[in-house]
Chains A and B, each alone.
Chain A
Amino acid sequence: MTALLNVTKLSASYGDFRVLHGIDLTVERGGVTALLGANGAGKTTTLRALCGMIKHSGDVVFDGVDIARCATEDIARLGIAHVPEGRGTFIALTVEENLRCGAMTRKGRASIDDDIERAYHWFPRLKERCGQQAGTLSGGEQQMLAVARALMLRPKLMLLDEPSFGLAPIIVSELFSILRKVNEQEGVGMLIVEQNAALALELARQAFLIETGRILISGSVTEIRDNESIRAAYLGY
């Protein structure tokens, strides 16, 4: 059985400035892949390129479909939900309207309403604030809203860009335990970008280490964890 996401020789640039130099990576069906690396290594750029948000070349095959030349909205429609850097909240809309925006590609009001309840079940705090303007939420709540909105798409694959960024440790562990449940119970594949390597490696089964736009090392999480020199040099723990 082929992988859920298969990326080969992905290159991307901002204007003339090349950021990615032909990277290969995979996400297994129902698997979690961590993409690790320092600031400026090209992690966010990789996610943006996968979603067609920036100019890129190379092959991207998702669920047997070549999406390398698809528009961002069509990629979302195929079942890839991107939780972007900065959370991408619709700040003027209410919390519930934000969730409904996440389900915009789907049909059937009843199943969408069910999924809103499901989102509130995962994130009870959002239920308390369902009618509130989303811009008034705290950073942690907005991150939860971003994840909940992505789940509304009923995705096959989630791209998570630094979900722990700027959050208090207790919120981070809450969020990651929910992500783990979503992955285990609903089989949603995940590609997770994190600077907090320890955290990401707890969730992931496969990891890719990226440095200045190139994949340096890849392998199963156990291999990467057990390699003392990698840990010391790149993961910093």
Chain B
Amino acid sequence: MELLIQQLVSGVATGGIYACMALSIVMIYQAIHHLNFAQGEMAMFSTFIAWQLLQWGLPYWIVIPLTVAISFSGGIAIERIVIGPLGEAAVLSHAVVFIGLYAVINSLASFIWDFTTRPFPSPFGAGSQFGNLISNQQIGMIAVTLLVLALLYAFFRYTRVGLAMRAAAENPTSARLAGIRVGLMAALGWGMAAAVGSIAGVLIAPIVFLEPNMMLSILLYGFAGAVLGGLSNPAGAVAGGFAVGVIENLAGTYVPVIGSELKLPIALLLIVIVLVFRPTGLFGRTIVQRV
């Protein structure tokens, strides 16, 4: 029983990482209706920026807002320079550009900061709670993820800009006819996704350590969480992220064949199962259209 509780808690804790990532994936999906493969690398790059700022001796409470601001501008720049000109090109064109971005950002980070694995200081200190069951870092990460989720929810649900962004993503033509600046909304969506990604990166880095490939498997788990919870629903994606963490941990502990080596395929298996049996995800809304 104790083992089960321990595995559940540690599953939720790892799930917090995936939930962070899933949230930033869904965020950008809401704004542009594409899955951005470079999302993880954007988050990694932001985390390196935060690390660099810390190295230069800036305090944490300046580094975080500065990193978020830099990432926000970076996201907008990527949209303006690379994605915007694509316009309404086919899905595959977007996929190719995302893969290109992935490679460019990954190489750029390796070029600037090389492949050395670096520790990243936790903003929440080193202690742990509940008799070493869960670290302060993990608790902080989960709390911040839920907070960001609540803020995003309020933004999209209750503000005019949030509504304009949803309208622009869903039906760009109609949005333009209503006077909404669709290009600006897409840029804003990229900026926000990059900002959320930078928060995810800074939260995750103390656990997985900082290096250019840190996000590779996390992105996969994040996709699994987002797909499981539903791409149309940020809260669902966060729940999905936690679920993936728990499932992965329990399967690794209780199914002897799986062990820790075969954990990653579980994420992939989850994606396949969900897409076959419930393509909108557990909490996704089915968008009904009568004709």
Q: Interface on A for B, CB 8 Å cutoff?
A: 51, 53, 71-74, 76-77, 81-82, 84, 88-93, 97, 100-102, 104-105, 133, 135-139, 142, 149, 153
Contact = CB atoms under 8 A, between A and B. Distances in A.
B182 A73 contact: yes
29 contacts: A53-B173, A71-B176, A73-B181, A74-B179, A77-B179, A88-B174, A88-B177, A89-B171, A90-B167, A90-B171, A90-B174, A90-B175, A91-B287, A92-B232, A92-B285, A93-B163, A93-B167, A100-B160, A101-B174, A101-B175, A102-B178, A104-B167, A105-B178, A105-B179, A133-B285, A136-B288, A137-B290, A142-B290, A153-B179
Interface of B: 160, 163-164, 166-167, 170-171, 173-182, 232, 285, 287-291
B213 to A, nearest CB: 36
The CB with the most chain B CB atoms within 10 A, among A90, A135, A136, is that of: A90
Name, among A73, A97, A100, A139, the residue most crowded by chain B CB atoms within 10 Å (CB to CB).
Answer: A73
B178 A91 contact: no
B167 A101 contact: yes
B156 to A, nearest CB: 11
Contact of B179 (A84, A104, A133): A104
Contacts of B287: 91-92, 133, 135
Top 5 closest A-B pairs, CB basis? A76-B179, A88-B174, A105-B179, A135-B289, A72-B176
A75 to B, nearest CB: 8
B290 A101 contact: no
Contacts of B182: 73
Contacts, number: 87
A30 B167 CA distance: 30
A93 B160 contact: no
Contact of B178 (A133, A142, A149): A149
Contacts of A74: 179
A101 B289 CA distance: 19
B290 A135 contact: yes
B176 A73 contact: yes
A138 B182 CA distance: 27
Contacts of A91: 170-171, 287-289
Contacts of A104: 160, 163-164, 167, 178-180
B163 A97 contact: yes
A91 B167 CA distance: 9
Given A135-B287, A137-B290, 5 more contacts: A73-B182, A88-B173, A92-B170, A104-B163, A139-B291
B177 to A, nearest CB: 5
B78 to A, nearest CB: 22
A84 B290 contact: no
Which of B171, B179, B291 neighbours the largest number of chain A CB atoms within 10 Å of its CB?
Answer: B179
A73 B179 contact: yes
